[in-house]
Structure 1
């Protein structure tokens, strides 16, 4: 079975979202193209059209996906009109400085967008503490619609190791689901 071809379009205002995108790509262990939507090229658009899976990434600013990422979503209109992304695997992630930070609103925005595009949405499956006490820190925000990361401003490493581990596992899950989908299972 061939490795899935994955694209991760993202916007990263302060570098956190980019680091999560890179960590998800590590976990996917598959050919992955990171696409900074501020500098998207025609080759990036072709890669998105050819991808088996697209994992969307945007920080949550003021209760929704950052405006620069929303601009990228609005540029997809002809792909929607012609069904270019129908039946691709879709997933998403977001970062914010507050434990809630209204990150769910961003994930809802991304998942509704994917549904409008006819994509098949995949969320995290990891159950961490307190439900599974032997898994402290895993999916610590308890998000099932997509990956949530809570930045720790002022810390030496402002992205918690537990969130990075969860991001790797999320990348692996999306790659695995994409392989299964491509195989017709």
Structure 2
């Protein structure tokens, strides 16, 4: 039986995109998982993206299709990725989610799995508040929230600076954005993708009652 896993992200400089690809890789390890990766629409003017250097950085994921709100209803699990903006999700992701009122009205996402990953510029830049505050929207939709439990060994790595929380995968980009996701962080992301897809596949295979 096929399990539909959707990964919906926003990335400005590519850090969240790299986590999204790692999560997709982990999810694809699960037999029957059909994994799709989408990005939410950009809201920042082209001139601002150009000036900040984000425009050139975004070429690495320019091929990724734009997410369609209505398409979410087809998923068995949705894994959302957003950079942190002052301890919360970015405006682009908030704008996308604010268009899901129709799905909420008809309960289209109830009992689907929801999971979140993020990035911050600094080590204590609001990763956990971004992830847990994102969960509020998922719960309003009636989704079942899934994190990255401590059965993921990389969460206990104390030998280096690393993102990664029990609420979801994360990376630290450094204040200038020069730090790229580490192998430890990518391993946590792969774990999260596989973990979500495994649970989703069990639920889709369960007999209806």
- Pair in the same fold by TM > 0.5: yes
1:82 matched to 2:106: yes
| Structure whose alpha-carbon radius of gyration is higher | 2
Tell me how large the CA RMSD over aligned residues is.
2.5
Matched-pair contact (CA < 8 Å) for 2:79–2:116: yes
CA change 1:131–1:50 in 2 (3 A) is closer
Q: Structure 1 residue 103 and structure 2 residue 127: aligned?
A: yes
**Matching residue within 184, 189, 193 for 1:171:** 193
CA contact (8 A) 1:128 1:140 kept: no
1:18 paired with 2:17, answer: yes
Structure 2 unpaired stretches of 5+? 43-64
Once the two structures are TM-superposed, the CA of residue 132 in structure 1 deviates from its matched residue by: 7.2
Alignment partners' CA distance in 1, 2:136 and 2:146: 12
TM-score w.r.t. the length of structure 1 is: 0.85
Match status 1:35 vs 2:57: no
Unpaired segments of 5 or more residues in structure 1?
Answer: none
1:86-165 paired onto structure 2 within 5 Å: 86-126=110-150, 127-128=152-153, 140-141=162-163, 143-152=165-174, 153-155=177-179, 158-165=180-187
1:177 to 1:140, Cα distance in 2 relative to 1, 3 A: farther
- Number of matched pairs: 178
Query: How much has 1:73 moved relative to structure 2?
Result: 1.0
